[in-house]
Amino acid sequence: MKRAHVRIGIVGTGPAGLYFALLMKRRQADYDIRVIECEGQSEIDGETLAWGESDTLAVLTHARVVHRNGSNNKPACLFHVDDAPLQRKIGIYEELPGA
């Protein structure tokens, strides 16, 4: 059976988004995150970066990432783009266990 590959975009960083971030695997693919709305922080390999609307974060290969929403009542909207589909196609994609 062929394994399906799915691209995941996280919209909102409430309890569900935080839980997903804790479970997310570290990936070989570099990726960019564009903040559509709200503000918060991302911890990338132990370095905390604050972000707000229209900011862009670049996440390097195999980085550990946790996103935190800065608002208790407004969801954060983050758009995630990566090169994993290309890496899968040419056979170099790799995932490591999370936390």
Rounded mean pLDDT for each run of 10 residues along the chain, 99 residues in total: 49 60 59 84 89 86 84 86 82 71
Q: What is the DSSP string of 53-96?
A: TT-EEEE-TT--EEEEES-SSS--EEEEEESHHHHHHTT---EE
Residue 34 covered by a domain: yes
Residue 19 covered by a domain: yes
Residue 5 covered by a domain: no
Residue 37 covered by a domain: yes
Residue 6 covered by a domain: no
pLDDT of residue 63: 81
Residue 86 covered by a domain: yes
Residue 11 per-residue DSSP state? B
pLDDT of residue 80: 81
pLDDT of residue 5: 46
Residue 1 covered by a domain: no
- Residue 31: which CATH number? 2.60.120.10
pLDDT of residue 12: 58
Residue 49 covered by a domain: yes
Q: To 10 degrees, the CA torsion angle through 31, 37, 41, 44?
A: 0
pLDDT of residue 16: 61
**pTM, rounded to two decimals:** 0.60
- The total domain count for the chain is 1
Question: Domain of 56?
Answer: 15-96
